[in-house]
Chains A and B, each alone.
Chain A
Amino acid sequence: MKKIILQVVGTVILTVSALWVQADELNLRAGVTEISKEVYSLHMLILWICVAIGVVVFGVLFYSVYAHRKSKGVEAAQFHHSTKLELAWTIVPTLILVGMAYPATETLIKMYDTGGEDMTVEVRGYQWKWQYKYLDEDYNRTFSFFSNLATPRSQINNRQVKTDTYLLEVDEPLRIPTNRKVRFLITAEDVIHAWWVPDFGIKRDAVPGVVNDLWAIVPEPGIYRGQCTELCGKDHGFMPIVVEALPEAEFDAWYASRVSTEVVRTESFDDTFSHEQLMAKGEEVYGTYCSACHLANGQGIPPAFPAIAGSAVAMGPKDDHLRLVIEGVAGTGMQAFGKQLDPVELASVVHFQRHSFGNDAGDLSQPADVINLSGGQ
């Protein structure tokens, strides 16, 4: 009888553990970097130690529940102390812990070795998007961009079928080269966020006023997805991280083209634009940066997020409107977009707001206005 029970229990444990190891959904991902694989094996080591201890401890407990019951007519023993046992179950667990701490310490020391990088990217958390700044050898910015959630609201609100990358897709991913040591400087603009790419085995809080660093050498090209993991307000669940690792040559080509578009983009700050141009650009910017709070119809969610439709600001003087968007409103969710958007984007989104949702200010906002207001920068 006992033998059969043991066999059944054994089979169940083996099947469950086999399923566990096979199914991705049931376990941590091993990831692609050397570090993430080391973390994975550490995870498995500790998991199995816990399972083993659990089997022994719960085995004894359930055997006792099965065997030492009054209904079987047993008489309760009256022993209540054993110094030898107490010592044994203090010392043995301590030794097991030392056995766990040793490899954990080794891995941790490796993770902290952030020096000797081939390139550096600054990762900056904003409510609710990530900004990636590519830095040159002297830590000066070469170019930067925001990475926003690309999943349409219609999918979130169940009006459209959700795709495989639902909530894990962005308009522009962070691109890095394979096989080079990339150092990430993690910080934040407003509240605390956390930057996590599970496949690289790295996660670090993005804290305003603090610069943390992480590194990764990604051996395989591919698209790696993660999410913000520190509660950062309303859309905490909607600021994914997507990293595309490109083969080195491909990355270099992309990097060069990105640097040259940066020059063209900066030159466009001197241009003037027509109403139609501003409206088209402005609608795009509004959809990405404004509609989460002020909604696609400009009605907002008062009182936290005021309506733009019919607002005194959108109907009032142009410069006041621009200044509000550039500088933000301290102590509210309204951020200082002067730090996030370029003059063309700022001018067009303000122009769009002044001529949409029933607003009709009848003026034109130009990049030059933005540059004047922000002191020529």
Chain B
Amino acid sequence: MSEVIHADHHDDHHHGPEKGLLRWLYTTNHKDIGTLYLWFSFAMFLIGGVLALVIRAELFQPGLQFVQPEFFNQMTTNHGLIMVFGAIMPAFVGLANWLIPMQVGAPDMALPRMNNLSFWILPFAFGMMISTLFMEGGGPNFGWTFYAPLSTTYAPDSVTYFIFAVHLMGASSIMGSINIIATILNMRAPGMTLMKMPLFVWTWLITAYLLIAVMPVLAGAVTMMLFDIHFDTSFFNAAGGGDPVMFQHIFWFFGHPEVYIMILPAFGIVSHIIPTFARKPLFGYSSMVYAVASIAFLSFIVWAHHMFTVGMPLAGQLFFMYSTMLIAVPTGVKVFNWIATMWRGAMTFETPMLFAIAFVVLFTMGGFSGLMLAITPVDYQYHDTYFVVAHFHYVLVPGALFSIIAAVYFWLPKWTGKMYDESLGKLHFWLSFIGVNITFFPQHFSGLAGMPRRIPDYALQFADFNMLSSIGAFIFGFSQLVFLYILINTIRSGKPAEGRSWEGAKGLEWTLPSPAPYHSFTHPPKVTEAEIQG
């Protein structure tokens, strides 16, 4: 197949990547850039993970053992920032780069040079942010939500580097999103109408719009911080007529869509993996699309549920409570559709499927605690306790992260042309699954018992659950080294994979050979019913 394509287009295409390291600096190829994004996010995941282990080591027992409170706050802050902006988001962009052109039948992304730029900004942004940890006075220590005035008047001097780093990350995300939208809207193969697009493409299209809508809001927030810090304005300074609560409104107007940015592509991934291994079409394709669109819409009108304790008027509290509860409806539709897809299928349980099923179960548990948090009067008891920590880690770790890992196992044969080791993959799954639950399930209990989040030391009644949580964190953390080993092992010495690497796999990417050719589709492919999800 690929030989045929090459023969057709011999004059105007260069067929392979350049040699040497400069290939990675100058590349405009969607696969190379996807690879860069994925390895970068994996590196950030390991760094963020090390910070998490510092936190869990300190919390293993009551009392201060390893680090001082100032340093502990830097660990929680940077763990959050690195995981959100450095690990999860770039990993999804990496997947989008690899998969969207192949799934819509395009040769590459629509804007390849911008693609290169949007990746190469990131190492500088994170280099700048992480370097602050080594500066006099330390790095950001005000939580990943950086509430003013703790992050302005009371911040360490390095906050200015943090602000510029956030600006750069935002610019990178916006460029990445423009590229994704341009690719999806302009480069689909003939016959691939919007309602025939694979769900990963649909979820990313909607995610990209969310990113374009909210990243400028984040940029606005950090710019106002910059002005408060250096130019004596008082946007968030009550003494000068500003309002610290306004910061939170602006931050969460960005922040809530942001959390859906980190989960919608995951929905897409799982909607590919479950039908494949159930050998059955995705149940309720169109309702899946509508559900994602409704979630995206609702994400703009629920932001203040992060701020129930800030002292809003009753009517405001009620509005945000009701709108937040509504999110359970489209989210439920998705979960029910996945289960209906599994129902009466002929399932096998390869590693991607295991991660996908764990995603459905554990993400739903995160959804339950999310529903509990939506109930304003009860949220007063949960707010800013470990119950919240348990909630968002359930949706982000066995949620977003598991979906990314599942995607890597699922498409790795397509990317590398080689098959990973199935038993090692299963080992990785079970270690991760057990580790994640030992880490985060007990945090529900310590939260309900009253343990506030972001504290380096705690009262004695929280000791047992914290110890358990720390043990789980180390199991989970070290089992990711198994993942790294599997990846390297596959790339170096995996068994050759077929073009359609999985028996039940559907979609244009599987019509390509494995590994996929450097320029995916140089001729628009024919979109046949057999390769369509709906």
- Which positions in A face B, CB cutoff 8 Å? 24-29, 38-39, 42-43, 46-47, 50, 53-54, 57-58, 60-61, 64-65, 68-71, 74-82, 85-86, 89-90, 93-94, 97, 100-101, 104-105, 107-109, 111-112, 127, 155-158, 162, 164-168, 186, 190-192, 194, 196, 198, 201-205, 207-210, 212, 226-238, 301, 303-304, 330-331, 333
Do residues A198 and B450 form an inter-chain contact, with CB atoms below 8 A?
Answer: yes
A28 to B450, CA, bound (A): 8
Do residues A192 and B380 form an inter-chain contact, with CB atoms below 8 A?
Answer: no
Least CB distance from B376 to A in Å reads 5
Tell me the total A-B contact number using a CB cutoff of 8 A.
Answer: 286
Number of interface residues of B (CB under 8 A): 96
Is B4 on the interface with A (CB-CB < 8 A)? no
Is B43 on the interface with A (CB-CB < 8 A)? no
Least CB distance from B534 to A in Å reads 8
Do residues A203 and B381 form an inter-chain contact, with CB atoms below 8 A?
Answer: yes
* A101: B residues at CB distance < 8 A: 321-322, 325
Q: Chain A binding site: helix, strand, loop or mixed by DSSP?
A: mixed
A43 to B307, CA, bound (A): 19
Do residues B458 and A212 form an inter-chain contact, with CB atoms below 8 A?
Answer: no
If the complex has contacts A64-B343, A97-B329, A108-B377, are A155 and B63 also in contact, measured as CB distance less than 8 A? yes
A331 to B245, CA, bound (A): 20
Is B1 on the interface with A (CB-CB < 8 A)? no
If the complex has contacts A39-B378, A76-B345, A304-B156, are A166 and B384 also in contact, measured as CB distance less than 8 A? no
- Which positions in B face A, CB cutoff 8 Å? 62-65, 69-70, 73, 136-138, 141-143, 147, 149-150, 153-154, 156, 238-239, 242-245, 278-285, 287, 309-311, 314, 317-318, 321-322, 325-326, 328-329, 332-333, 335-336, 339-349, 357, 360-361, 364-365, 368, 371-372, 375-378, 380-381, 383-385, 445, 448-450, 452-461, 464-465, 504, 534
Least CB distance from A76 to B in Å reads 4
Q: Which residue from B339, B378, B458 sits with its C-beta under 8 Å from A61?
A: B339
Do residues A237 and B243 form an inter-chain contact, with CB atoms below 8 A?
Answer: no
Do residues A229 and B452 form an inter-chain contact, with CB atoms below 8 A?
Answer: yes
* B452: A residues at CB distance < 8 A: 196, 227-229, 236-237
Do residues A97 and B311 form an inter-chain contact, with CB atoms below 8 A?
Answer: no
Do residues A108 and B381 form an inter-chain contact, with CB atoms below 8 A?
Answer: no
A166 to B458, CA, bound (A): 8
Do residues B339 and A234 form an inter-chain contact, with CB atoms below 8 A?
Answer: no
Do residues B150 and A104 form an inter-chain contact, with CB atoms below 8 A?
Answer: no
CB-based nearest A residue for B288: A86
* A109: B residues at CB distance < 8 A: 314
Do residues A162 and B460 form an inter-chain contact, with CB atoms below 8 A?
Answer: yes
If the complex has contacts A107-B377, A210-B238, A230-B384, are A26 and B448 also in contact, measured as CB distance less than 8 A? yes
* A227: B residues at CB distance < 8 A: 450, 452, 455, 459
Least CB distance from B82 to A in Å reads 17
Q: Which of B136, B328, B375, B376 has the most CB of A within 10 A?
A: B375
Q: Which residue from A60, A74, A75, A235 sits with its C-beta under 8 Å from B339?
A: A60
Q: Which of A42, A60, A90, A155 has the most CB of B within 10 A?
A: A90
Q: Which residue from B138, B142, B380, B459 sits with its C-beta under 8 Å from A167?
A: B459
Least CB distance from A38 to B in Å reads 8
Least CB distance from B491 to A in Å reads 29
If the complex has contacts A25-B461, A50-B371, A156-B457, are A80 and B283 also in contact, measured as CB distance less than 8 A? yes
Do residues A237 and B455 form an inter-chain contact, with CB atoms below 8 A?
Answer: yes
Least CB distance from A252 to B in Å reads 30
A126 to B377, CA, bound (A): 26
CB-based nearest B residue for A208: B238
Q: Which residue from A24, A43, A79, A90 sits with its C-beta under 8 Å from B381?
A: A43
